Structure 1
Amino acid sequence: MVNSKRSASDTLSSANSSSGRSLTSSQVRFETRAKNLLKAELKRRGFTYAQLAEKLAAMDIHETERNLNNKISRGDSVRRSCYNA
């Protein structure tokens, strides 16, 4: 009998395998923490994704509000640019 339970890291690894990357458990923790920190900072400053998109556009990084929401939730590297905006 095969154990059908999957850990969070298994889930994220398989979710990210379509993008060609597999995450270790420490990378999963980092990605989750970075995502949560960015969301918290946006909320603390009262920024919307639309306002963030405007700030990024001023830095010549063109993303829509919806794209930012998806990328931040997914943990894409666009977050690094968001920290600078």
Structure 2
Amino acid sequence: MGITSILVLIIVGAIAGWLAGLIVKGFGFGLLGNIVVGIVGAFIATLILPRIGLVIGGGLIGNIINATIGAVILLFIIRLVRKGT
């Protein structure tokens, strides 16, 4: 993985985490937290979305959309766990 790939991963993660934080009200993790949420969200989306037949497409915008969907799923799971405790 080259430096360009790492930078794109961080940028996509930051944008996706920020968008997911806007969609799921009450979640703000700061810049580093948003990057982590976005990257984990991208991983979740990579696992879940193709299995349910949802393919967004490629490119930077497609990656941001996929990562945002995964990050929203992650934030909903976090919200459910927090309510349970």
Report the TM-score, using the length of structure 1 for normalisation.
Answer: 0.36
Report the TM-score, using the length of structure 2 for normalisation.
Answer: 0.36
RCO (CA 8 Å, sep 6+): is it higher in 1 or 2? 2
Q: Which has the larger radius of gyration?
A: 1
Q: Which has the higher helix share?
A: 2
